[in-house]
Structure 1
Amino acid sequence: MFLLGSYSPSFAQQINTKPILSPWAENVDSNAPHPEYPRPQMVRGSWRNLNGQWDYAILEKGNGAPVTFDGKITVPFPVESYLSGVTKAVGAEKELWYDKVIQVSNTERKGKVLLHFGAVDWESEVFVNGKSVGKHQGGYDPFSFDITDFLAKGVDQKITVRVWDPSDKGPQPRGKQVNQPRGIWYTPVTGIWQTVWLEFVPTTYITHIKTTPDWDSGTFQFSINANTSDPTLTYKITAMDKGVKVAESTEGFGKESILKIPNPISWSLENPHLYDFEISLLKGKKVIDKVTSYGALRKVSIVYDSKGMQRFALNDQEVFHYGPLDQGWWPDGLYTAPTDEALAFDIIKTKELGFNMIRKHVKVEPARWYYHCDKMGIMVWQDMPSGDMGNRWEQKLGVIGKGTDRERTPESEAIYKKEWKAIIDANYNFPSIVVWVPFNEAWGQFKTHEISDWTKSYDPTRLVNSASGGNFELKGAKIAGDILDVHNYPDPVMPSAELFGKIQILVLGEFGGLGLPVEGHTWQEKDNWGYQSFKSKEELLDRYKILMKDLKDLIPMGLAAAVYTQTTDVEIETNGILTYDRKVIKMPVDVLKKLHSELYKK
């Protein structure tokens, strides 16, 4: 999003003021928040949620583990958030420490014990009973450690986590986080912000599942990994439709399996049909490990209209993509929704408002968010969180952005590439994701063609929007990626159909930003802003209707998608259709749904 002008800083909610809260905040059980199984694509029955009360301390960086602690923190809410119970800044010069004593019984230790983290921002080191079991860098991808050999005799085991996060003082992906929040830049998020959990697995166990649908042939391709290379093992995959077995396949371990689905049912926006999978690892006839998963038969591709313009297609049917820019921030939990019900709420409202797509903006959500999208039937454009920002860039709206890629250090490039790959790997199996977006508005954009080409080759099942609103560098006659995406506020525009319509999908990646602060529902009492601000819901709706008329007029000219800014207000930014606390919808749901339905008509 463009940053227009400068704005007074908006700091994290102060403990001595009354913060705005979402309706779910009062339902948070601080001893057991987010109790749901966190990994819907790979489910086992033997696990334990470690969310809840941990000891915490904030110390100078490099001073070692704390001897005493500052108090209690509610995991998995970031330390700056209201729901963490702490609401303190950390910064690049300090480290955040977590500590918790857990119990692991002898029965649970018969196989291996895995310690999982949904996400920790940014660098973390995990200790078990005082010994380091491993480090991880990356604020948006899940990771785990086998802690079996680090467990002490007896039941009690101590888990300690050290976290360092430089926010905007480092080159790492950080999205909208800054140390001095203002305008479109928000409060830093430090530490554990997704579920922490134990999993009890056999000595030999399945480690990873990759599921690739082939809609044309009605098949699923499976690639299964385990913590062994034993060639005598096999694995069996059973596909079920609403509890009824429809297909089954057994393959030698290490080989890919193709599962043919009879009378296949497509996943679509109107009927988001999902197949359930049971995957068993076998030694002869003995099942030594078993997990459950799910998948969907759907195809993401490009089609040409009667004028030769490129269009998005789902299952070979042309579809105009229209959805909100979804930041995924919460007034009480920042990066972390208060509850799973809250996590699903924004998606439910997005569907009710008549949108068919969500652009998840420079943030990656917990796995359950994508699971809800899969079940509800909404398409997702997934951004890579921006980092190491700064650029040389000049945009000419309606034509093309000109500029040069940012020069990043080898360390910075390596951090980006490692985490982008990890994000794709972690979210590859979710059918709702249809577009990858490596860069936004030239924020830290580098080696555009290399990154775009790598993304496309690594996952050829989806489309690539190389630089949403960013620096578009020509390479011969073709621009990097599948999509040419411009941003403009507030009115709709589109790239030149004459110049680019037959070689790229033409997209308006951000527009709108119509602001309306609603008294009693803002992050701060005054100095809130929008790209174009209004004083009443009536004025806001009238202006939105004009945007929809102008947007509709661009579609026959070649526009294939548009993204409206935005789902909710975020901190002092009041551009949301909903207020930041999700308690007020600023425009009538039925009116918006009717307006949006006009965009999808052929």
Structure 2
Amino acid sequence: MENNAPTAWPSSQGGHVVPPSGPCGYNKSRGVHKALDARKVKTPPLTTPWTYEAGTNPWPQYPRPQLERPQWQSLNGIWTYQNASSIDAVNSPPYNQTLPNEVLIPSCLESSLSGIQGEYTIYSWLATSFSVPTTWTGNRVLLNFAAVDYEATVFVNGRNATFHRGGYFAFTVDVTDHLRANGTNELLVFVHDPTDSDPYVIPIGKQTLHPLHTFYTPCSGIWQSVWIESAPSSYITQLDIAAGMDGQVNATVSSFGNASASVQIAVIDRKTNRTVATHNGASNVQCTFSVPSVSLWSPDSPTLYDITVSLGDDEVSSYTGFRTIARGEVNGIERPLLNGEFIFQFGTLDQGFWPDGIYLPPNRDAMVYDLQTLKKLGFNMLRKHIKVEPALYYQACDEMGILIFQDMPSLRPFQQRTLDNCTIVTILPDAAQQDEFTRQLELLVVQQRHFPSIVTYIVYNEGWGQLTNYYPEFGLTDLVKQLDPTRLVDSTSGWYDHGAGDFSDNHHYANPQCGSPFYSIQSSPYDPSRIGIQGEFGGIGQNVSIEHLWNVQEAIDTINQTYEIDTTIEAWNYRGHRLLGELLDQVKMYSCSGGIWTQTTDVEGEVNGLLTYDRRVLRPDVAQWQADIQSLYTAASSRVNASMPAGNGRL
């Protein structure tokens, strides 16, 4: 096929090649940037339109939009790398040495964008150097990592600065006392990422060292942004802001250096840049205040308000959206409520894998393209499937009005090991591993609860890592609701449902069984005391030519394991129409409150995406899908009692 995409997005016919949005469209004539040549980018099994747009200053945006400081410096770019032989290598750091390989940060070491495209990169050294601006003199210097998979030991100028465990979560360390008074500072990071190697049982989601049909190439190393920033001696460490449909704001400003410092909070109308409310309080205690006549956040009207918070000489910026998430009975059926109203929530299973970047797209334009495609088709929600994205992803969903069901990355999914007595057992966490899973679930909620778009947390997917000798989902659900009482919890999406949480969640391929009086052995029967939702369905596939496939033979050999293969794009669209029609019947006749279609894009050997893995072919007949999805919303709306009082519901 031609490398240059057409200039217009197809308005109706499915299966057309589509261009990316924004200024970074794929164009063969642009070639590879000279800077990229210098670090010898590896050729991936499949490119996207953005593969050669990453440059040597990747992801230049401030990485943490919910707590942004004005004085900061990105450390993204070309670092150096070398493989290490064992965990003991951490005891012999290669200080003042030039590591032999160049690597792009942030990136997965297994990705082509990294310049490494490694395999079994379990132990790694990564290094760079940085200078602190002279204008920061007298302030603290904070070093931030948005995510390192899986364990990171950080050295600054030959001193151990910190250790962090958890491949999806951000961490910060004050490195002021490790810095040289003048000149360049050496930053070394030792990364240990066992993925699913024995005896480790850790949150990995769909990553595996041995890719097969529904489990994919892993991501190791510094895969999200790194930056330094300047802060005064007393500074803000965390903002927790929840804003409801009644205009009430609950805010906690956590601080370092002064246990009860005075804080000032200002709420600013983003459209007019006018301050609409201010509040004075103290750090490290929750404060409550009201904003009059707020415009509410919803998928149809994703209104956001900017926020500034001051603590002494420290001032940070943030934002929020006023909305309330609850559940309540509507015409005798348990429903999810947004701002007091039942809105049918329909989205895709979104796994967030990329052929060139694995866990991280080449740039923001690529990331936003997937979201724009979903909005164009009419989806108002997505399920972020057992992965946590960079904060900029959730900011984009906040701004575009996309509801998010956020999964906790799962432990090893139904893998088995053979014991010395030849008994084959399913790998499940021991007590210490379960405690670590719980700790990281807590990190997930604490770090994600700022984003208005997140409406539901999912604890377990299809029993993966879910203990069977007791029902841990009850305690974990209580933990999540304690940490964030403003959202719903889908305790078990599919399979081993014992009654915990807010949802009765069915998985079934290809056709749905949503809130219905029929079910299969793969899911529990619908429980009318909770919200009925189709947590996964669809999954129909359509094979494409090799230029749109993950060109790895082991993956190609598994294509026929797709739930259903439709041999033409017309058949694929016909089947999609019929399956969405079945879901429509269940919305009209039964108790279906939402659905999740598998999936946004193809991934490696899976060919059941709305988009191919390279994002160059869109399968849906756009007009057909828009009409079918709108029919779901219309049917759900017709079942709502218009006289139901606003705000009726409970968490």
TM-score over 0.5 for the pair: yes
Q: Distance in 1 between matches of 2:305 and 2:450?
A: 12
Displacement, 1:497? 5.1
Q: 1:91-240, aligned counterparts within 5 Å?
A: 91-92=121-122, 95-169=123-197, 170-215=200-245, 217-231=246-260, 233-240=261-268
Instruction: Select which of 24, 32, 38 maps to 2:50.
Output: 24
Change in CA separation of 1:363 and 1:253 when aligned onto 2, cut-off 3 Å: closer
Change in CA separation of 1:179 and 1:111 when aligned onto 2, cut-off 3 Å: same
8 Å CA contact 1:109–1:148 kept in 2: the answer is: no
Partner of 1:569: 602
Q: 1:329-344, aligned counterparts within 5 Å?
A: 329-344=353-368
- Do structure 1's residue 418 and structure 2's residue 439 form an aligned pair? yes
Aligned Cα RMSD in Å? 2.0
Q: 3-state SS of the aligned residue for 2:548? A: coil
Q: Distance in 2 between matches of 1:303 and 1:17?
A: 52
Displacement, 1:16? 8.0
Partner of 1:451: 476
Q: Distance in 2 between matches of 1:50 and 1:368?
A: 17
Q: 3-state SS of the aligned residue for 2:511? A: coil
Amino acid at match of 1:49: S
Identity over aligned pairs, percent: 36
Amino acid at match of 1:192: I
8 Å CA contact 2:44–2:355 kept in 1: the answer is: no
Change in CA separation of 1:18 and 1:221 when aligned onto 2, cut-off 3 Å: closer
- Do structure 1's residue 78 and structure 2's residue 105 form an aligned pair? no
Displacement, 1:410? 2.0
Change in CA separation of 1:584 and 1:391 when aligned onto 2, cut-off 3 Å: closer
- Do structure 1's residue 599 and structure 2's residue 632 form an aligned pair? yes
Amino acid at match of 1:488: H
CA displacement, residues 77-116 of structure 1 (integer Å, 9 cap, x when unaligned)? 1110010011011354xx1110111112443242100110
8 Å CA contact 2:42–2:115 kept in 1: the answer is: no
Q: Distance in 2 between matches of 1:228 and 1:470?
A: 48
Task: Give TM-score, length-normalised by structure 1.
Answer: 0.90
Partner of 1:483: 503
Q: Distance in 2 between matches of 1:139 and 1:254?
A: 27
Q: Distance in 2 between matches of 1:500 and 1:554?
A: 12
Q: Distance in 2 between matches of 1:373 and 1:495?
A: 27
Displacement, 1:251? 1.4
CA displacement, residues 176-227 of structure 1 (integer Å, 9 cap, x when unaligned)? 0111101000001101110011111111111110001122x31111100110
Q: Distance in 2 between matches of 1:425 and 1:359?
A: 19
Q: Distance in 1 between matches of 2:609 and 2:516?
A: 29
8 Å CA contact 1:516–1:535 kept in 2: the answer is: yes
Change in CA separation of 1:536 and 1:505 when aligned onto 2, cut-off 3 Å: same
Q: Distance in 2 between matches of 1:51 and 1:163?
A: 17
Q: 3-state SS of the aligned residue for 2:212? A: coil
CA displacement, residues 472-529 of structure 1 (integer Å, 9 cap, x when unaligned)? 12xxxxx100001111111111355597543111111111111112211010274334
8 Å CA contact 1:128–1:150 kept in 2: the answer is: yes
CA displacement, residues 335-368 of structure 1 (integer Å, 9 cap, x when unaligned)? 0111011111111111111111100000000000
Q: Distance in 1 between matches of 2:65 and 2:459?
A: 25
Q: Distance in 2 between matches of 1:160 and 1:54?
A: 10
Change in CA separation of 1:309 and 1:18 when aligned onto 2, cut-off 3 Å: closer
Q: Distance in 2 between matches of 1:96 and 1:460?
A: 39
Q: Distance in 1 between matches of 2:112 and 2:100?
A: 16
8 Å CA contact 1:497–1:506 kept in 2: the answer is: no
CA displacement, residues 362-396 of structure 1 (integer Å, 9 cap, x when unaligned)? 0000000000000001100000000143389xxxx
CA displacement, residues 300-335 of structure 1 (integer Å, 9 cap, x when unaligned)? 1112232x1111111111111110000000010000
Q: Distance in 2 between matches of 1:25 and 1:391?
A: 33
Partner of 1:400: none
User: Which sections of structure 2, spanning at least 5 residues, go unmatched?
Assistant: 1-39, 417-425, 519-524, 639-651
8 Å CA contact 1:90–1:96 kept in 2: the answer is: no
Q: 1:420-439, aligned counterparts within 5 Å?
A: 420-439=441-460
Q: Distance in 2 between matches of 1:16 and 1:117?
A: 25
8 Å CA contact 2:268–2:274 kept in 1: the answer is: yes
Task: Give TM-score, length-normalised by structure 2.
Answer: 0.84
**Greater Cα offset, 110-119 or 57-66:** 57-66
8 Å CA contact 1:207–1:227 kept in 2: the answer is: yes
Displacement, 1:24? 1.2
- Do structure 1's residue 297 and structure 2's residue 293 form an aligned pair? no
Partner of 1:493: 513
Amino acid at match of 1:541: N
Displacement, 1:175? 0.5
Partner of 2:567: 535
Instruction: Select which of 512, 525, 528 maps to 1:502.
Output: 528
8 Å CA contact 2:412–2:464 kept in 1: the answer is: yes
User: Which sections of structure 1, spanning at least 5 residues, go unmatched?
Assistant: 1-13, 283-287, 393-404, 474-478
8 Å CA contact 2:201–2:428 kept in 1: the answer is: no
Q: 3-state SS of the aligned residue for 2:84? A: strand
Q: Distance in 1 between matches of 2:491 and 2:415?
A: 16
Change in CA separation of 1:444 and 1:18 when aligned onto 2, cut-off 3 Å: closer
Q: 1:235-250, aligned counterparts within 5 Å?
A: 235-242=263-270, 243-250=273-280
Q: Distance in 1 between matches of 2:69 and 2:428?
A: 44
Amino acid at match of 1:324: T
**Greater Cα offset, 487-496 or 457-466:** 487-496
Q: Distance in 1 between matches of 2:100 and 2:118?
A: 11
Partner of 1:580: 613
Change in CA separation of 1:252 and 1:69 when aligned onto 2, cut-off 3 Å: closer
Displacement, 1:125? 0.3
Instruction: Select which of 504, 513, 516 maps to 2:539.
Output: 513
Partner of 1:476: none
Q: Distance in 1 between matches of 2:225 and 2:241?
A: 24
Displacement, 1:416? 0.6
Partner of 1:396: none
Q: 3-state SS of the aligned residue for 1:249? A: strand
Q: Distance in 1 between matches of 2:42 and 2:257?
A: 54
Change in CA separation of 1:578 and 1:134 when aligned onto 2, cut-off 3 Å: same
Q: Distance in 1 between matches of 2:316 and 2:42?
A: 47
